[in-house]
Structure 1
Amino acid sequence: MAIYLDHNASAPLLPRAREAMLAALDHVGNPSSVHGQGRALRAVIDSAREQVAALAGAEAKQIVFTGSATEAITQAIVGGVKVFGIDRVLVCATDHAAALKAAEISGVSIRILGVDEAGTVDLDALARQIDMANQAGEKLLVAISWVNNETGLVQPRGRIEAMVGPTPHILVIDAVQAFGKLDLDFAASATDMMAVSAHKIGGPAGIGALLVKGHADTVRIIPGGGQEQGRRGGTESAALVAGFGNACADIGKTLDLDATRALATSFEQQLLSLAPDAVIFSRGAERIGTVVNFAVPGIKNTVAMMSLDLAGIAVSSGSACSSGKVGRSHVLDAMGVPPELSECGLRISLGWSSTVSDIETFFEAYETVLSRHRRKGAAA
């Protein structure tokens, strides 16, 4: 039986989400149609919107369904630059590629905020940028990934909101890896726009959402036929939306965060027992508690992943959004991790389906990887 330890890439589909999707597929029509079939599909979407809003601490009217979190982030950054007359976009060096690439095509200048060795954003640099913009009469859009998808590091969202919120500047939060694990509290927050994803919590791939405050309702990149209250054109997929909504309703009952975090802690303890020279990235900083990104010096991630994959164990070397490529991590590079250690980085990420047995099976296979490495070192 395959062991899946890659929830940050995509979580297994929750049973309730699957059932909701199959039920939605039985409906025929277009949710924008006024006849009975169309109204039935609209009811499915309205119900799901309420479910997503409940998990996000948002109002239903603040939920804009998109084709992915990447689209949501792009809409927030590229669309936000146009609507709010932004002069400069600030992104963190360890942000997801979705934000970094969207900033590149935004049409305005970009400033990359550095991080410390744990990956925490340089708040002093952010304060300086805000002061300079205020003095010059410029407007900033600040985009920050709340929870890093590679290391699990939690950025100080509260402090960032306290810095940006009282100003005319715009704050965009990538909450993809925080969704379902931390309290988003969007409606009451100082965040202007926030991106979330379905498939990271056990919903289907191909559906995400942008959470928007009322003043950002005109932020869009796909005008289309007026769907999503004119904020994102294109006929909604009732099946994907239903799966998203029901995953949101079910994840709180299915994911035992305390137990999952205990699994991650046990993983780290076993790892350091077997390989005392292992480096756990961002250790000592605030982390989400469901992700362990580590490296054993001398064991390249390509070698380790191949051996684990042959044993039926799915792990990753970091983000899964680079067309299947395995290599150096821009996150670890930004943290100042030496290239020879970065190339050894492996990530395990846990979620609703993870068990103690999964961890035990991982180490049964990983001991073989370590033994082979030690024999090679002894022979050298």
Structure 2
Amino acid sequence: MRPIHHGIHVNSANGHGTRCLFGSQRRLVEDARDAVAALAGAEPAGVVFTSGGSEANNLALCGTGRPRIVASAIEHASVLKATPAIEKIPVDGDGMVDLDALDAMLADDDRPALLSVMLANNETGVLQPVAEAAAVARRHGALVHCDAVQAAGKVVLDIKALGVDMVSLSAHKIGGAMGSGALVFGNDLPLAAVVRGGGQERGRRAGTENVPGIAGFGAAAREAVAGLGDFARLARWRDRIEARLGERADIRVFGAGAPRLANTSCLTMPGVTAEHQIIALDLAGVGVSAGSACSSGKIEPSHVLAAMGVAPEVAATAIRVSLGWNTTEDDVERFIAAWTDVHDRARAKDAAAA
């Protein structure tokens, strides 16, 4: 990002500069459009740059004009809160969308519908049967949107193979900068802009382009495509973590019976709240997150785990462990040791209080 930002800063010193300086920025944007399209298995003309995944999701759900929106109960808040009347599809105990329920819901109402289903869940890493869900939706004439923010760069992404109309992406999830994302189209759908004003992005998203963010998004997309094979190796470390912690405590791994991202594990430490675990592990130099969303400093119950039928007191003990492209085996062992120490100290404290 640093060299890209420096070059743009120099070239942008005069907002009314020469055409060739504007052209250099335009090339950065269009090169990035090519790279993001390649990441999604789409054509460059189908890429609409946004401020991130949340805006892309809102553009997909609000811009297509469908009077009925159906989404899985475990979608990101930017999908579930995009409009006030979203109908939620139930999921099973592993967090997999119920295709029979989807079929019944679409058959029950003949209004033009839009289905939104994520490719990978951000809390559990569970991979959804998007292609199968899209096939169900097609039988009922519905459009299909897929939030692939969490999955991009971790699994092969092909908008045509998935059979969907739109895919949402976010730069920072693949190593780019925050504040840049995209809604990618598989075909030329009519779309009403949510952000209105100028004619940027072929009239689909107004506002001056975030050239540094977009250029960085393109660079990250190229790296993500090149590194897909290496990412799969993280599964063995994820499995090691779950096995070793399972030897120490009666943990629960959510979504363990379903296909998952190689780098994600959502698991419990029985009797110890997620908040306590996060603080204790942070003091040990290990960063994890709650299996629930944190808003204004308050940890809220996870709507994902609730949809999976997990009891609130169990969900309150869940954390998400994520491995990255730069994670090492030493990092994995350090996490296991830190988690074990937090667990053992909590058990000792309970025993002393008994």
TM-score by length of 2: 0.94
Q: For the Cα contact (< 8 Å) 1:219–1:231, is it kept in 2?
A: yes
- CA separation in 1, counterparts of 2:35 and 2:203? 21
Contact (CA 8 Å) 1:55, 1:249: kept in 2 or not?
A: yes
Query: In the alignment, what sits opposite 1:52?
Result: 36
Shift in Å, 1:231: 0.8
| 1:274 alignment partner in structure 2 | 248
Distance 1:364 1:356, change over 3 A: same
d(CA) in 1 for partners of 2:18, 2:39: 29
Where does residue 45 of structure 2 map in the other structure?
Answer: 61
Please, which moves more after superposition, 22-31 or 151-160? 22-31
Q: Does 1:225 align with 2:203?
A: no
Note closer, same or farther for the CA distance 1:254–1:321 as it changes in structure 2 (3 Å cut): farther
Q: How far 1:316 moved relative to its partner? A: 0.2
In the other structure, the counterpart of 2:231 is 257
Asked if 1:155 is matched to 2:139, the reply is no
2:308 corresponds to = 335
**Relative to structure 1, is the Cα distance of residues 208 and 35 closer, same or farther in structure 2, using a 3 angstrom cutoff?**
same
CA contact (8 A) 1:30 1:41 kept: no
Comparing both chains, which one has the higher relative contact order based on Cα–Cα distances under 8 Å and sequence gaps of 6 or more?
Answer: 1
CA displacement at 1:24 relative to structure 2: 3.2
Cα offset, 1:288, TM superposition: 1.4
Indicate whether 1:352 and 2:325 are aligned.
yes
The 3 A distance-change label for structure 1 pair 373 and 113 is same
Structure 1 pair 210–321 and aligned structure 2 pair: CA distance change class (3 A)? farther
Residue 115 (structure 1) aligns with: 91
The alignment of Structure 1 onto Structure 2 pairs a total of residues equal to: 352
The CA RMSD measured in Å over matched residues stands at 2.0
Distance verdict in 2 for CA 1:32–1:231, change over 3 Å: farther
2:280 to 303, 307, 315: 307
Q: Which residue of 2 aligns with 1:14?
A: none
Letter in structure 2 aligned against 1:338? A
Q: CA deviation at 1:31?
A: 9.5
Matched, 1:289 2:269: no
Instruction: Give the corresponding residue for 2:78.
Output: 98
1:87 aligns with 2:60: no
In structure 1, C-alpha distance between the alignment counterparts of 2:344 and 2:57, rounded to whole Å? 43
Structure 1 counterpart of 2:62: 78
- Name which of structure 1's ranges 326-335 and 90-99 shifts more when overlaid on structure 2: 326-335
SS of the residue 1:141 aligns to: strand
- Paired residue secondary structure (2:117): strand
* 1:22 Cα deviation from its structure 2 partner: 3.7
Displacement, 1:286? 1.3
Q: Name the CA shift for 1:350/1:295 in 2 (closer, same or farther; >3 Å).
A: same
Report what 1:10 is aligned to: none
**How far 1:57 moved relative to its partner?**
0.6
Cα distance in structure 2, aligned partners of 1:142 and 1:32: 44
1:172 alignment partner, SS class = strand
**CA–CA separation in structure 2 for the residues paired with 1:221 and 1:202:** 27
| AA partner of residue 263 (structure 1) | W
Contact 1:64 1:211 in 2 (8 A): yes
Q: Which amino acid aligns with 1:327?
A: E
Compared with structure 1, are the counterparts of its residues 265 and 155 closer, same or farther at alpha carbon in structure 2 (3 Å cutoff)? same
For 1:244 and 1:264, the matched residues in 2 are separated by: 27
Letter in 2 for 1:53: A
Cα deviation 1:172-214 (Å, max 9, x = unaligned): 1101111112222124542111101000111100000001244
Task: Decide whether the 8 Å contact of 1:64 with 1:231 is kept in 2.
Answer: yes
Q: TM-score by structure 1 length?
A: 0.87
The answer to whether the 8 A contact 1:79-1:219 is kept is yes
Determine the C-alpha separation between the residues in 2 that align with 1:360 and 1:103: 44
Paired amino acid for 2:74:
T
Query: What corresponds to 1:241 in structure 2?
Result: 214
The answer to whether the Cα contact below 8 Å between 2:245 and 2:340 also exists between their aligned partners in 1 is no
1:198 aligns with 2:171: yes
Gaps of 5+ in 2: none
Q: Aligned partners of 2:159, 2:9: CA distance in 1, in Å?
A: 31
**Residue of structure 1 in register with 2:23 after alignment:** 39
AA in 2 matched with 1:223: R
SS of the counterpart of 2:232? Answer: helix
Instruction: Report how far residue 42 of structure 1 moved.
Output: 0.4
Deviation at 1:33, TM superposition (A): 8.2
Cα contact 2:131–2:161 (8 A) shared by 1: no
**2:106 pairs with 121, 130, 137, which one?**
130
Check 1:355–1:297 CA distance in 2 against 1; reply closer, same or farther (3 A cut): same
Shift of 1:166: 4.5
1:170 aligns with 2:154: no
